Structure 1
Amino acid sequence: MSCVVPVKFERLPELVKPTHYALTLSPDLKNFTFRGQETTDIEILKGTDHLKLHSSEIDIKKARLTLSDGSVLQDLDIEYDKKWTTVTLKLPKHISPQKAKIFLDFVGELNDKMRGFYRSKYKDGNGRECYLAATQFESTFARLAFPCWDEPIYKAKFDITLIVDEELTALSNMNVVSETKIDNKKVVKFATTPLMSTYLVAFAVGRLEYIESKTNGNCLVRIYTAEGRKNQGEFSLEVAIKALDWYGKWFGIDYPLPKCDLIAIPDFSMGAMENWGLVTYREVTLLVDPAKSSTRQKSRIALVVAHELAHLWFGDLVTMKWWTDLWLKEGFASFMEYMFVGANYPEFKIWLHFLNDELAAGFDLDALRSSHPVEVEINNPNEMEEIYDSITYAKSNSIIRMLCNYLGEETFQKGLWIYLKRFQYSNAVTVDLWNALSEASSQNIESLMSTWTKQMGYPLLSVSQKIDGKKRILKMSQKRFLADGTVDEKNSLWQ
């Protein structure tokens, strides 16, 4: 009797390092398709007879490899692995380590799944059905838009060009550097991005309008909406302007891009997404009707806008090496949104809401046996959906607040400066942050905080007293609090 051994997920082999993508996409909003061409500069690190990268639901029409000596390997054989969403380009010969260029010509679908490069349907002011195209790449959906090395460790620079109908607006991470007309189309070229991970690449195409302003640092900030809705972005524009200036000072590093667009997408699966320079939001988390909005609604929008803009430093400028350290970006963005709103909108009394919305939410989930540690090992990105929860956001936020209060804001801030400057445009893991905070505080932060991030749960403290003559002896003990009233067999301890 035979048995089937399940195939274990494997990350991409460390054969190739992409350094630059030149990507051109031409979306068709009538037929819901797009055509793409890309030339990727790569460094081949080990001798090989094949190249493997990510691609999903993409039909590659042509693939060729140009080697460092100028020779070209044409019409490469292509092998798709739909289960693991990879594609292997088979080379006609074994090649040695060198710099090379991959050219790919491909087509794909503007899907309706709200991931990858997708279509979003809405009705304009006249009740007509309209579509715009947008992206959602976190965590593993850039591969639905273009073949790439779709893991956060593979940072590269991107030159993006969008070919769109004349009447449409085209947006991407960077500012437009040229716009030319060809027939009834316009070719929109964007400036080269800094080094960044694929999940942060973004583009949007549609009938859009905007309002704009500039930060004190002269960064152009725009709120983009579907036609007829731009005035509902006034409050978010105000928040964004304040946040970019405030974060630049608080983190000790100015926002490094020349512009920051915030766009409201009618169909959007997440609350918002921190694409560098083109931050995407659900309409309800970005737009507010001044005549109908409550203070609570405005405070929630301020938090979401501030959360995503905090990611421009924690997540975009410094990115986790792998999804195991997802909390590094989500926990800090969740904490910093409250820091910003508390400092800039005191009328919202936001720290009172923190107790109910964050601390209590973290307590509720972490009191269950089914909870998980803040740092949870992610082997397969398919497991990611399971940890976008109150542990990753609310508990992480709460323990960061605890650490900030323990160290003092000045020391805590100094540690973040060390961390951000040391790992900017690069990748980091949790221990890198602890080391930076240890340098700033002269304490062993890893030993202290690992008890909060590497084990689930939180302690219930008990204090008893004993009178011994004139002495009062206090005895303190701790055990994990469990909502079902049972006892934790692990005897967990927290510092």
Structure 2
Amino acid sequence: MGEVTMSKGSFWALMFAFLGTTLLVGLLCGLLPNRDADCTIKVTEEPEEPRSTSSGPTTPPQLWEKIRLPTNLKPHHYDLFFRIDITNEEFSGTNTMLIECLQSIDIILIHSKLLVIDDNSITLAQNGGGGAPGVTRSWLYPENQYLVIELDGMLEAGTSYDLTIAFSGPLQEDLIGLYKSSYVNKDGDTKWLASTFFAPTDARKAFPCFDEPAHKAEFTVTIENEPGYFALANMPLDGDNETIADGWVRSRFQKSVPMSTYLLCFVVCDFISEEKETQGGVQFRVWARPEARNSVRYALEKGADIIDFFEDYFQIPFPLPKMDMIAIPDFTAGAMENWGLITYRETALLYTEGVSSPRNKQRVCTVVSHELAHQWFGNLVTLQWWDDTWLNEGFASYVEYLGVEEVEPDWGMGASILRMLQNFLGEATFKKGLNSYLTAFAYSNAVNGDLWFHLTQAADEDGKDIDVTAIMETWTLQMGFPVIDVTRSYGGNVEYSASQHRFLSNPDSEEQNTYPDLGYKWYVPLTHTSSANPNFQGDQIEWLNPDDEGYNKDIGEGSDSDWLLVNIREYGYHRVNYDANNWQLIAQQLEDDNTVRKRRVDCELNL
């Protein structure tokens, strides 16, 4: 079967639908319950009053009854040791956390899931020497997957402490947390590996931690594994691997940059790799099971080129010294953007020339570009909480196509609300705002309003009176998109009036307005052209505002026989409905020329 082709108009229409789904899913992410609250721990005894959880209705909830961690403590560094026993399907380790007390408290809450914690291993010391409160007891609150550590005194604000905990857990084939995976080699033998998938809340299944995206910290990871395997992690090795007394292999990795727990990753396997160096000097490798060695070259070449492109586009160098991408045989998602060690489903990374389909080639390039975009937008700057997931995914879904167009220019892709945003700001202003945003929040956390602020600031510096926050709130705080009703004037100068209403596939469906102050009205950038003076650049933008009672635009010379087209090159995320006569003029144009065919057919079939 030959390669499937698609017009830009059709592709963008599909991408609009995809982004709408992305926005809805992203906004719901923060509201979803945890998938599994089970956990095992050696518990000393249940807490005594007044820490009982069976409080009356007027009693304020205890700290462990709240789904969010308290803000009294901030982690700065994790010193993690893992001994991963693939054969016996178990792992054990220790975690020494450097935590800063921001506000005095006599209790420590951290996340733990399906881990066995030895009470006697829990120690607390003041960093750098000095006294620290003692641990009186630890216990589990499974509803929120908390390990609760009670102290016999108060942690002092402004003081840092070292908290050490020993833990162990099962190495299960459940595809989340630290888990066991397998593949069958060419001889029919089952081969095993260990991998991680921590997003969004399963780092706690591998080690006790502050498992929320706002709690960024540095990580130093040491792994011991059986002979015949080797370990990979987010950062490069810190020196050579060491064979210890029992024949196992110990690998210590360099300290990471500050990052959220869900981006930590490590793999123990017997894979092979191909590698090259990017123009910026980043070591770039693609890993797969030995039999798939000939299928990694395409992702390697395109991935390295896309990193070079994003470094230039964002004007920020790739933040790590190496970038590994690895194809995991058993993987729950298409890919996961772990910083410096991206994990993929095999079909999203492996491509064999002459064997794989053109569609598979396109998928590999697109997914690789998406995950590499996240290394800046999502990893360098990370969402504050999961209700802003849509912004990370929406942005990566937009710039992935910029990366693809750079390395596969014949494919001609593009997408989304962010594409509209770039168009009305102008590319130079858009890129300036992104650079300002990424620089300001590097190795930290942000919310979507922070991006809008920096884009508005860039627009102001470039002499453009554009309030990005006000505009984008109408697109992100309410569902759907508008239909622009356009009515031509006839019998004189060509002008048109425009109004808007919410697009509904079923016009009789009942509307629900969660944000009544917005009223399903949008800030809509309008562009137009006509047969009297055709201009398909779309660079002259007028605004239809939410509170506009009537919008009229005089477009100058023309006659009643000239067609009018609004939303040039589909930069606007909306549909257009014309008066019947203008539809007829467009239809007549189609008999001789399909210049306006794509937009006309797309709108007419959906109105």
Sort the TM-score into its range (normalised by shorter chain). 0.7 to 0.9
Equivalent of residue 455 in structure 1, options 469, 478, 482:
478
Instruction: Please say if 1:228 is aligned against 2:291.
Output: yes
* Contact 2:133-2:154 within 8 A present in 1 as well: no
* Contact 1:63-1:76 within 8 A present in 2 as well: no
Match of residue 377 from structure 1: none
Tell me the secondary structure at the aligned position of residue 342 of structure 1.
Answer: helix
Moved more, 306-315 or 92-101: 92-101
Match of residue 58 from structure 1: 115
Residue 117 of structure 1: how far off its partner (Å): 0.4
Could you give the per-residue CA deviations for residues 407-457 of structure 1, whole angstroms, max 9, x where no partner exists?
221111111111111111111111110111111112211111111011111
Q: Structure 1 residues 76, 177: CA separation in 2 closer, same or farther (over 3 Å shift)?
A: farther
| Paired letter, 2:454 | A
Instruction: Write out aligned runs for 1:9-408 (5 A).
Output: 9-61=66-118, 62-68=121-127, 69-71=129-131, 76-97=136-157, 98-178=159-239, 179-182=241-244, 183-347=246-410, 349-351=411-413, 398-408=416-426
Residue 207 of structure 1: how far off its partner (Å): 1.2
Q: Which structure: larger Rg?
A: 2
Find the aligned partners of 2:175 and 2:390 in 1 and give their Cα distance.
23
Gaps of 5+ in 2: 1-53, 461-465, 514-518, 524-607
Deviant stretches of 4+, over 6 Å: 2-5
Find the aligned partners of 1:332 and 1:247 in 2 and give their Cα distance.
13
* Contact 2:79-2:96 within 8 A present in 1 as well: yes
Tell me the secondary structure at the aligned position of residue 151 of structure 1.
Answer: coil
Q: Structure 1 residues 249, 76: CA separation in 2 closer, same or farther (over 3 Å shift)?
A: farther
Find the aligned partners of 1:180 and 1:470 in 2 and give their Cα distance.
86
| Paired letter, 1:125 | K
Which protein is richer in strand relative to its size?
A: 1
Instruction: Please say if 1:480 is aligned against 2:492.
Output: no
Find the aligned partners of 2:258 and 2:109 in 1 and give their Cα distance.
21
| Paired letter, 2:520 | S
Identity between Structure 1 and Structure 2 (%): 39
Could you give the per-residue CA deviations for residues 259-312 of structure 1, whole angstroms, max 9, x where no partner exists?
100000001011000000000000110011212123222111000001000000
Residue 350 of structure 1: how far off its partner (Å): 3.7
Residue 60 of structure 1: how far off its partner (Å): 0.9
Q: Structure 1 residues 231, 57: CA separation in 2 closer, same or farther (over 3 Å shift)?
A: same
Residue 227 of structure 1: how far off its partner (Å): 2.3
| Paired letter, 2:388 | D
Instruction: Please say if 1:426 is aligned against 2:488.
Output: no
Corresponding pairs, count: 447
Instruction: Please say if 1:493 is aligned against 2:521.
Output: yes
* Contact 1:125-1:227 within 8 A present in 2 as well: no
Could you give the per-residue CA deviations for residues 5-56 of structure 1, whole angstroms, max 9, x where no partner exists?
8x87520011110000000001110121100101110101222221001111
Residue 92 of structure 1: how far off its partner (Å): 2.4
Could you give the per-residue CA deviations for residues 225-268 of structure 1, whole angstroms, max 9, x where no partner exists?
12221221000000111011111011000101111000000010
Find the aligned partners of 2:507 and 2:383 in 1 and give their Cα distance.
37
Residue 154 of structure 1: how far off its partner (Å): 0.5
TM-score (norm 1): 0.87
Residue 73 of structure 1: how far off its partner (Å): 5.7
CA RMSD of aligned residues (A): 2.0
| Paired letter, 2:232 | L
TM-score (norm 2): 0.71
Tell me the secondary structure at the aligned position of residue 420 of structure 1.
Answer: helix
* Contact 2:433-2:455 within 8 A present in 1 as well: yes
| Paired letter, 1:318 | V
| Paired letter, 2:125 | T
Moved more, 9-18 or 270-279: 9-18
Find the aligned partners of 1:230 and 1:489 in 2 and give their Cα distance.
53
Instruction: Write out aligned runs for 1:412-423 (5 A).
Output: 412-423=430-441
